[in-house]
Amino acid sequence: ATLIDDTITDDQTSVDDAGCNYRLRPLSSNDHAHGYMDLLSQLTKTGNVTRLMFTTTFDSMRKDSGTYFIIVIEDTVKKCIVATGSLIIEKKFIHQCGHRGRIEDIVVHSDYRGKRFGKIIVQRLIALSRVLKCYKISLECKDSNVSWYSSMGFVREPGNSNFMQMRL
Ligand code: 16G
């Protein structure tokens, strides 16, 4: 089972320029065994996520159909996940009951940087958010990544660019 069945199909062509040993595809329910959590641990603290915890969360995401779109790039020789990114769809009453997209958990494995995998993933998520008719997409990132996201068309909104949070 994969998280998204129709909107993103298995695809080798978009990662072809990086070699034919890679595949862009939706996150799958058995990707815990393919190093998905190890990859995420290069982004932030993951804690200990067992296979059961992973599949339970995966299944509940899948039930919320149309909400979670998680894509990965797999090294098909090593059978491990080397890059990932998510688009989360938030339903709104504003904007004619529109959809807001949130780009989350973008990470490329340290051994696989410089292959444009991050760009391929973000651009794919942007294209997906257009198909899903989001009125906007947004993300939070480190200062050091601002110019990278700017290069893909993200802008800091003038007068409304304060990201606020409360750690709980
Ligand atoms: C970054 C990520 C965000 C992730 C957070 C984890 C992108 C664009 N942003 O902000 O999705 O959830 O890091 O940091 O990938 P945290 O553990 O402090 O929440």
* pLDDT per residue as tens digits for the range 1-60: 555 544 455 555 556 555 579 999 999 999 999 999 999 999 999 999 999 999 999 999
Mean pLDDT for the stretch of residues 85-104: 98
The DSSP code sequence of 24-40 is EEE-BTTGGGGTHHHHH
Rounded to the nearest angstrom, the distance between the alpha carbon of 75 and the centre of ligand 1 is 23
pLDDT of residue 3: 54
pLDDT of residue 160: 86
Give, using CA atoms, the residue closest to atom 19 of ligand 1: 44
pTM score? 0.91
Question: DSSP secondary-structure letter at 110?
Answer: G
Are the beta carbons of 155 and 147 closer than 8 angstroms? Answer: no
**Alpha carbon distance 51, 25 (integer Å):** 20
